Amino acid sequence: MTKKQSAIFFSVGAFFTLILGTVGHFFYQWSGENPVIGLFFPVNESTWEHMKLTLFPTALFLGTASLKIRGGNYALSSFLALFVSAALIPLLFYSYTAILGKSVLFIDIAIFIISVIAGYAAAFLAYNSKPRPILNKLSIIGIIAIAICFFTFTLSPPDWILFKEP
């Protein structure tokens, strides 16, 4: 994939994730609280659960694309898209709420958008960088670890602030 093609590809991915993540906020409730849907979309209003709004739409888009796109730094770029977008949500949320002392809906929405765009920007940069076979192999392990953590902590959340509803 050329640099221009990858820019278009990752932009489409960001748009897909923004749309599915936004609508996905309601999937668990709409499904009648189906536990399978709850593994992939938020089951409550905790920060941890809201990280799923970026993770699983991104995983769906990049995982489906991986059937056609291979090689280069695709695994690394996929891991970075997942990790950066998910990690920014609590980082930005807890930073601004520590300053303001409360959460503000439009800032929360902006954090979601910024997190998705940053994740796909990191993916674009990684994809178009020098091939790094070892990082691609480690990224596959990282992607599996992220999935295991989200499934596990959805089913059995620890008693930490990240997992508590505001």
DSSP 73-114: THHHHHHHHHHHHHHHHHHHHHHHHHHHSS--HHHHHHHHHH
Joined together, the tokens standing for residue 137 give: 């192999």
Name the DSSP letter for residue 161.
Answer: G
pTM above 0.85, yes or no: yes
> Could you read off the pLDDT of 61-92 as tens digits, one per residue?
999 998 777 667 999 999 999 999 999 999 99
Q: Domain range for residue 107?
A: 3-163
Number of domains in the chain: 1
Residue 120 reports pLDDT greater than 70: yes
**What pLDDT, on the 0 to 100 scale, is given for residue 72?**
77
**What pLDDT, on the 0 to 100 scale, is given for residue 67?**
75
Q: pLDDT category, 21, cuts 50, 70, 90? A: very high
Among left, alpha and beta (phi > 0; psi -120 to 50; other), residue 5 is alpha
**What pLDDT, on the 0 to 100 scale, is given for residue 138?**
96
Name the DSSP letter for residue 39.
Answer: H
Joined together, the tokens standing for residue 94 give: 């807890």
